[in-house]
Structures are given as structure tokens and as C-alpha cells.
Structure 1
Amino acid sequence: MSKRSQPSWSPPAKTEKRPVLKLYNSLTRQKEEFVCDNGNRINWYSCGPTVYDASHMGHARSYISFDILRRVMANYFGYDILYVMNITDIDDKIIKRARQHHLFEKYLEENKSLNCIIDDATSVVNYYEIIVKEATDPDKKNAMQKTLDCIASAVKTLKAAVEDKDDAKITNAKCELLQSAKSPISEWLDSRFGATVTDNAIFTALPRYWENEFHKDMKALNVLPPDVLTRVSEYVPQIVKFIEKIIDNGLAYESNGSVYFSVSEFDSKNKHYYARLVPEAYGDTKQLQEGEGDLTDDTSEKRSPNDFALWKRSKAGEPSWSSPWGAGRPGWHIECSAMASDVFGNKLDIHTGGVDLKFPHHDNELAQSEVSH
């Protein structure tokens, strides 16, 4: 069978007669009769949010859908469900956003002079122009250009207010500039001072705040809470052990303090197929890089562009935890495999998550889980 097509899938054997329930199976891309592997008990793991910002409609759509399915299976079909969901509170987006928030608040507290603010804003415009020019997504590019135009206009207004020596206009123009330029100023500050942020507490406060907001949103939508909630930050020791098993099994390697999963080694093994869910995405460097994170620049460390990080060496300005490979943090994909295995052992009945996670996140989960025992 070609490695670039979906391999065959076999359901568990039936153990008792139950009403027929068919669910969409992303491994076969069609509805299949659901068979529980342990009689009436369902082990269900759901990928939770990466808490770096407010929830959006995509979150609502996903978790409402899972909630409806969960209620039907429990209340109508009578299944005993153990529903586990994770919170991703260690991630490149969180690290970058937490640093930027901290640096911007610090910038405001320093109460800069008007001339300094104008000079800084001019530097921000120059810095942001380069980012806009390099942007490839047309929608993002247009949005960024509007922000840039707004900042340039606000700088012009503040300069005029200063020349007029009108205190009221100066105050309003200053507030308008700092508000309209918050995101670009934060990015500019991060590019200059991000490496100086060393307090791990800074990287904890932001995700905890947005996690609480997420729970409020789910409660408002009447989505049932999970039976078990896991956080990446509370599972680092288990994640390290999980990675060690994969290394011991010859499917991962250490490089410059980071650890990578060897896709080619895995794919060469009998009955192992990389990208089982989305075989046509195999080798898609854009999606693979997005899965590695904004702060990752590891092409020289990897044996292959298809390999993905299990453990990332922490650079200056990033939180870190101790490991056999040095100070670092978990990669994104490894967290769900480690946490689900810790709660459920080596078998799941249902794994849910956003459709945008199928490749590379869920495909990477499948691969590393298959070789961790």
C-alpha cells in the first residue's frame, strides 16, 4: 500500500448489542458504526484551546458540536463517558503575546516624554512597514496596512498638537496614538527587548487569564465542562518521560538541546504510516512550519524538514523547564499524546479537535503515540 494514501482501519470487535450509532471517522473520511472498546465506558480526549487571546466563533462551533455529541451519547445511548480536555498554556503564541503585553505595560509605566513617544512611533512605523511589505496573506496585509496608516495619521495629529501647544489636544492625541499603535509598538518592543524578559511568572499570568475567560464563554454557551482538565504546564515531567520513550525506541533524536521526531525513520517501519489523516499534506512545509510555531527557527538542527519538535531548547526571553537535554519547553504536538496517555493509558475511543488541527497536529499525535510504548 502506498504510504501516501490512507491505510485501512479496523474497528474494535463488538462485545454487546446496542443501538447502532454512526460517527464520522476522520481516519476513513466517512461515517462508521461506533464500537466502544470497553463495553459501556468511553475514553474521550478533546484538544482544548491555546489560551493567548479571547475565544472566537471557531471555538464556539467546535465545543458546541462536541457537547451535543457528548450529550446524545450519554443521555440517549447510555454511554459512560470520561471526557478529558487540555489547556495549552505553553506555546509560541502565548510566549510572544505575554512578552509583548509585559513590555507594552512597562513602556506605559515609564511615562515617556512627548518627543520620545513621537520618535518611538516613527521608528515603529518604519519597523512595521517592513512587516507589511513581507506579508503574503492579502487579507492580513490589508489589515496591517490600515493599522499602519492609522498610526501614521496619529503621529501627524500628535505633532500638530505639540506645535499648537494645546494641552487638551496633546493628551487626546497621545492616548489615540498609544491605543491605535498598541499592537505594532508591542511587536517593536519585543523585537528590541524580548530577550530580556526572564521571569516565568510573566508567561503564566496571560494564559491563566484567557483560560478563565474561555471557561466563562463555554459556561455562557451551556457547554458542559470536561470531567478532567489537563494543563501542559502541569505535565512537563510526564512529557519529558514520554519523549524519552520515543528516543529509546529509535524514533527521535537530540540536536542542539532540542529533540525532534524522525518522520522518515517512522515512515520506513512496517505498519507505520506518517500523515494517516491527511496523506496528501505530507511534505507541506508551510503547514509544518506553522505547526512548529512563530519562535522556531530550526532548519539547521533537523535531519529533515518533515521532522517536528518534541522538545524545544529555550532561547533568551522564553520560559524553560529542566530536562535531560537542557533547559527548554515541550513542543506543541507532544503535549496531547502525553496527557491523554497519562489519563487513559494506550487506548482512546474518541479524539476530537478542530478540523484545522488534522495536519500536522493530529497526524503528529498519531505517529508519536504509536511508538511511545
Structure 2
Amino acid sequence: MTESGSPSERIAAELRRRIAAGELAPGARVPSTRRITQEWGVAMATATKVLNRLREEGLVRAVPGVGTVVAGKPAPAAARAREPRRAQQQVSEPASQPEVRPVAQPVGGRRVRVGGERDLTRERIVATAVRVADEEGLAALSMRRVATELGVATMSLYRHVPGKDELLRLMMDAVFREQPLPEPPASDWREGLETIARLQWRIYRRHPWLASTMSFTRPVPAPDAALHTERSMAVLVGRGLSWEEMAQTSVALAAFVCGLAVHFEREAQAEQDSGLSADEWMERVGDEDHARLMADSERFPMFDALNRGPEIDLSLEALFEFGMARMLDGVGLVIERRGGADG
């Protein structure tokens, strides 16, 4: 496939068209890498290549705290008055935000209807916050940013949500609620725990910011998230384990999944900062560092032997599958010793 026909070039061409047609005006946010992966179904590396290409062409530029926006001077005042409020506020947000009437605003090249304060609800606030975090990461999330997306005054949000901590709790519960636990529960304990772990992994992958908000030492009251622990303990009932062992098994498995999933957001941020996917980074940077490490075979004989063998898979997916299986193997041994094997 030629470069002109590659997915990255086709997506870049579509964004060029939107910019040229005025669908994305100067100062308006263009789709983020995460939005591109969702809208076009491509890999993060492809989405990163699209934005890098447009930056090289001078069509877009990065604005700290906002994201990637269309480059060029804003339209004259008379023209800006006719533009959607959101497009005008991408780069410089006013200190105060008066209530506005519902307007049609551009999101990723599409126009969606956004209401004013009379239409504001807790559900809309949470849904908007989740979208911002999904598209740009948790660092971009603030009460003010959510208010800007909704076209309302920041203080109006506090009538529905006390603050950012509560907003994060509601977001956490909302994304767990998106993918409910399967009914009825599995009768086999291992199948039941594996189903729960895989569901959590999918939720974290869909919402990369989520893992960094989770705490297993100071858990927040999020009912839909707590249902996972409830279900995990339920599938272990009658297997000879104590209540403490059932609780520790449930929390330890959830902590393993969450701990590994933290790297989803880290990788997304690193990719955004460097413009390189994990594979591209290894090809350009990581392999050189790895080679220097391998050169000292006396100090690192295991790495040297590993390097001489067949290629191994240390991706997040491979580590998840291996770690989950070994944890469940261990649980199975404890159940067997208690005389509570499958039944």
C-alpha cells in the first residue's frame, strides 16, 4: 500500500478537508489521538502519525492544557460572533462564563447539540468529564474544563457535583456501570474470577485514566465498582476458604489488573509527548539502550542469554494473561488444600 493510500494519510486528508471547509476553524480543537482511534478504528500509532503530519504541515499546533488546535489567526470579530462558542474558547478561556443558550458545536468534525444551564444534570456533567478524560487524559480534566465543554459557568457545576474528588468518584462508577457483570454468575470459581478480571481489563483499556484513580488502601464508595469485589467473593463461597482469604483473593486479583492497567495511560501520554508508539520507540531508542545493556554479558548473563534466544512477548496483554493465569493457579492450590475443589 502506498503512503498516499495508507490509513494515516486518508485520515489526514479528511482533517485537511474539515479545516479547509471551515468545519474546524482556527483555534478549534482537532480530534485527539484517542478520538481518532475511536472514530476511525485505527491504532494509536496511526493516530499519532496523523497529528504529527498535520503539525509538520503547519495546519495544527499543540496548546498546553487545551490539546491540538487548528493553527492560524482567529476569524475577525464579526465572523467569530457567528462561530460556535466552543470554537471561540479553545485557546483563551474567559475568567467568567455566563450562561449561554444551547448551540451546535463541533466535536471531531461533527456537530452536536449542547444545552445551557437549564439542561444541566449530574449525568451530563459526568458523561462530559469521562469524554474529556478518555480523549485527553486525566491531566486535562478540571471543573472549569468540563464547564467549558458544556457551555456553562464553572460555578454552576457545583450545584450538582461538590468538587473534583466527587466528580472522579462518579466517573469511576459510571464507567464500571457501562459494562455490567454477566448474569447469571459462573458456577465454576475459576471461570468466574477470570470473567471478572477480563471485564476489568477491558474497562481499563477503554478508559486509560481510570487505573490511576483507583486505590486499594483508601477505596472510595463506588457501588458499581464494589460489585466486582462482591461477585469475586461470591464465586469463592463454599470452596473451603475463610472470609479473609476470599476477600484477599478478590482484592489481590483486582489490584494486579489495575496495577498493570496503569501503563495504558502512561503509554498514551508517552506516545503523545514523543510522537512514537511503543514499537517505534523501541526501534529508534530502546533497542540501542538494550544493546548497550546486552554488551555486558558478565554482569547480565540472563539478559545475554535471553537476547540470543527467540523473540518473546512482554506486551501488556501478554503480561496480563500470564499473571492472571498464575494467580488463579495459586488460588486453585489453596482451594485444593482446603478440600474445596470445584463442585
TM-score bracket, shorter-length normalisation: under 0.3
- Normalising by structure 1, report the TM-score: 0.21
Q: Per residue, is there more strand in 1 or in 2?
A: 1
Q: Per residue, is there more helix in 1 or in 2?
A: 2
